[in-house]
Structure 1
Amino acid sequence: MIRATWLVAMAAAVAVLSMPAGAAAGDATRDALTKRAQAGDTQAQVALGRSLQDDGMAADKAAGTEWYRKAALAGSAEGAWMLGSATMAGVGVTRDVPTAIDWMRKSVAIDQNPDHMAVLAVALLSTGGMPEALQWAQKAADKGSSKGMEVLAMARLSGEMGLPKDVALAEKLLNAAAQKGDTDAQLSLGQFYVTGLFGRQDVAAGVRWLQSAADAGSAKAAGTLAYFLITGKQSVPVDAPRGVALARKAMASNEMLGHYALGVAYVTGAGIAENPAEGWYQISLAQRMDSQQQLKSAADYLAKASAKLTPAQLAQLKARVDADAGAATAPQG
């Protein structure tokens, strides 16, 4: 269960880390890049590929991927990485995971980039390539990659990825990654301390790590901590006003848990004036976003809100949710 949940979360990290953003290029810059790229400058080829893919047009995305290919075939580690990333995501080319992984391997063999090694490890885990994945994760961690440490931590915590279960080592690795400022590690560490997944509960440490991740921009951490502070679940001291503020912060990034936590606050009147209609709406919206079925108590809160609403109000709210669900289920930032 740990492994499955974590792999879903790390898939987002693969997408973010494997496709670094490129700066938009104006016409003059594009012309200059094109001349350099045509002359065989691999850095220009990669930069031109990014510029074309940033334009958003399908033809430009395909052209961008071809520039990555030219750079990769010329021996550029960055070109090979970007080609692998584009192929993994199906950007400008048909999605092909084995081919993508091959290009990623070629890239890290050239430049030994530790964060790329960690992303390669996650990609391999998602395809069942456990032994090789753990080798890359160990190499990444040895070179100081927080993502590599996180992969190894989850392997040790679950005992399901080809390494013996070692909870103490998992905690040590996650702490090391979190102390490097990795918000995914901070989020996981906070959740595990609060829920006692390391074999003991440390609510104070868990709240600190969740707050640290939220302060660093993790919308999921903000939503997670908001829910705990609003409900007092897992013996977290209730601080509903702080929880509501964090829920709104998470919602600004369209985070499911932000909608859910604020909905719970409205239904229960915790830290905000009770509003069953708005609570029902926010929780229902969160349910539409809940592809992993994490919101186990949603039905109970919806029932509590529904008891205070008329059939006409519920019909209006359902129509509102239907209208807004498309935006709510868009990719989250």
Structure 2
Amino acid sequence: MIRVTWLVAMVAVAALSMPATAVSGDAAGEALQKRAEAGDAKAQIELGRALEEDGAPADKAASTAWYRKAAMAGSADGAWRLGFALMAGTGTARDVPAGLEWLRQSVNISQDADHMAALAMLLATTGGDQKEAMQWAQMAADKGSPKGFEVLGMARLSGKWGLPKDPALAEKLFTTAAQKGDVNTQVALGKLYFSDAFGREDSTSGVHWLQAAADAGSAEAAGFLGYLFITGKEGVPVDAARGVALARKAMAGNAMEGHYAMGVAYVTGVGVAENLAEGWYQISIAQRMDSQQGLASAGGYLAKAAAKLTPAQLAQLKARVDADAAKLPAAPPGP
């Protein structure tokens, strides 16, 4: 179950995270439209965001057109959103080089450190100039962005993107980002300590950073750590009560790791009364959520449960899984 997801999703940072205002025919919607048409860049962006979330192709095209108007008027936010629209082909033809150029223009205007780190990551992973990518990452780190430290850590850990491999330095860079409170980095660092990425395994540090991330609200970290406490894997002493509590917390956040950890608990009877049917169901749901095929041990637990379930029970469980899996949100793309 050890997986480290490199966080390309980090590019969807603050400027893309605010909720959009619905566009309607009411007075507020009409006023927003008039302000946008009058050249108000903030209104253009707000209108663009609302249209983008409507889902209709024509609205997405209109959304990108409003972002372009704002960008052409010198808006950093407009340029940032236009860059992503071009890179994704949202409402326009996909054009990665043009998208990257608009992102550069945005960052040059805003000097936003997290956006610098996001640009660095995009340049590094889309065939852009790797030297430039690392320059943006360093600038982000110099401004105190944990994402900047994370990108530099990735580069030093892998030996890619124009920087020599240096696991010791990578550990320091990841740790700096984690200490700054970046939850995604805390999750990644915690998992890395259960691998030999830094030349050694360190379960104590791994538990520390996963617990920090779980305390900060990461359902993924809670589920992963819960699994370790339930199973005693990776040198972590079994703590059934703590493991089940973490797994349930992760399930409340609908994290795949939470479903899996609770499924294992039910199948093995650790921390809860044995319930093979519920265990089989939870593990199967986790498999449906696992876009990266990381649950290597799932088959063994499923087989253990299935051996004591009747064909009729299994048929009912499969139907339940099929019905509930159809309601799950789409899994994010793998790294």
Q: Please, what TM-score do these two structures have when normalized by structure 1? A: 0.90
8 Å CA contact 2:47–2:66 kept in 1: the answer is: yes
CA contact (8 A) 1:194 1:207 kept: no
Q: 2 CA distance for matches of 1:307 and 1:299?
A: 12
Counting aligned pairs with the same residue, the percent is 66
How big is the shift at 1:196?
Answer: 4.5
In the alignment, structure 1 residue 263 sits paired with structure 2 residue 256: no
Matched, 1:20 2:17: yes
- Indicate if the aligned counterparts of 2:45 and 2:78 stay in contact, CA closer than 8 A: yes
Indicate the SS of the match to 2:21. Answer: coil
Q: Is the 8 A contact 1:114 1:145 kept in 2?
A: yes
Amino acid at match of 2:323: A
Q: Distance in 2 between matches of 1:111 and 1:30?
A: 28
CA deviations over 1:209-229 (Å, ceiling 9, x no partner): 111111212121111111111
Q: How many angstroms apart in 2 are the aligned matches of 1:270 and 1:16? A: 39
Correspondences of 1:274-289 after superposition (within 5 Å):
274-289=274-289
Note if 1:51 corresponds to 2:72.
Answer: no
Counterpart AA for 2:40: D
Residue 69 of structure 2 corresponds to 70
Structure 1 SS opposite 2:194:
helix
Question: CA–CA distance in 2 between the matches of 1:147 and 1:89?
Answer: 22
2:292 matched residue in structure 1: 292
Match of 1:11 in 2: 8
Give, in whole Å, the separation in 2 of the partners of 1:168 and 1:118.
21
Give the AA of the match of 1:29: A
Q: Do 1:285 and 1:328's aligned partners in 2 also have CA atoms closer than 8 Å?
A: no
CA distance in 2, matches of 1:157, 1:182: 18
Q: Which range moved further: 204-213 or 65-74?
A: 204-213
How many angstroms does 1:331 deviate by?
4.4
CA distance in 1, matches of 2:94, 2:175: 35
The runs of at least 4 consecutive aligned structure 1 residues that moved more than 6 Å come to: none
The RMSD of aligned alpha carbons is 2.2
Contact 1:17 1:119 in 2 (8 A): no
Q: TM-score, normalised by structure 2?
A: 0.90
**Given that residues 19 and 86 in structure 1 are in contact (C-alpha distance below 8 angstroms), is that contact kept between their aligned partners in structure 2?**
no
Return the alpha-carbon distance in structure 2 between the equivalents of residues 9 and 278 of structure 1: 32
In structure 2, the residue matched to 1:92 is: 91
Change in CA separation of 1:23 and 1:270 when aligned onto 2, cut-off 3 Å: same
Total equivalences in the alignment? 328
Q: Is the 1:247–1:262 Cα contact (8 Å) retained in structure 2?
A: yes
Deviations along 1:51-85, one digit per CA (max 9) or x if unpaired, are 33344444433322211110111121111001112
- Deviations, residues 190-249 of structure 1 (Å, cap 9, x unaligned): 112233432233322221211111121212111111111111111112112221222222
The answer to whether residue 152 in structure 2 is matched with residue 152 in structure 1 is yes
Q: Which amino acid aligns with 1:328?
A: L
Partners of 2:233 and 2:40 in 1: CA distance: 57
Matched-pair contact (CA < 8 Å) for 2:280–2:302:
yes
- 3-state SS of paired residue (2:18): coil
Residue 326 (structure 1) aligned with residue 323 (structure 2): no
Q: Distance in 2 between matches of 1:236 and 1:127?
A: 38
Moved more, 108-117 or 58-67: 58-67
Instruction: List runs of 5+ in structure 2 lacking aligned partners.
Output: none
Q: Which residue of 2 aligns with 1:189?
A: 189
Q: Distance in 2 between matches of 1:121 and 1:58?
A: 30
Rounded Cα–Cα distance in structure 2 between residues aligned with 1:242 and 1:86: 44
The residue aligned with 1:221 is 221
Match for 1:87: what amino acid?
A: L
Instruction: Tell whether the 8 Å contact from 2:87 to 2:94 is kept in structure 1 after alignment.
Output: yes
Does structure 2 conserve the Cα–Cα contact (< 8 Å) formed by 1:219 and 1:250?
A: yes
Structure 2 Cα separation of the partners of residues 16 and 270 of structure 1: 39
CA distance in structure 2 between the aligned counterparts of 1:95 and 1:215, rounded to whole angstroms: 39
Contact 2:21 2:46 in 1 (8 A): no
Q: Distance in 2 between matches of 1:64 and 1:18?
A: 15
Query: Does the 8 Å contact 1:154/1:170 carry over to 2?
Result: yes
Amino acid at match of 2:64: T
Equivalent residues of 1:146, 1:177 under 8 A apart: yes
Name the structure 1 match of 2:307.
307
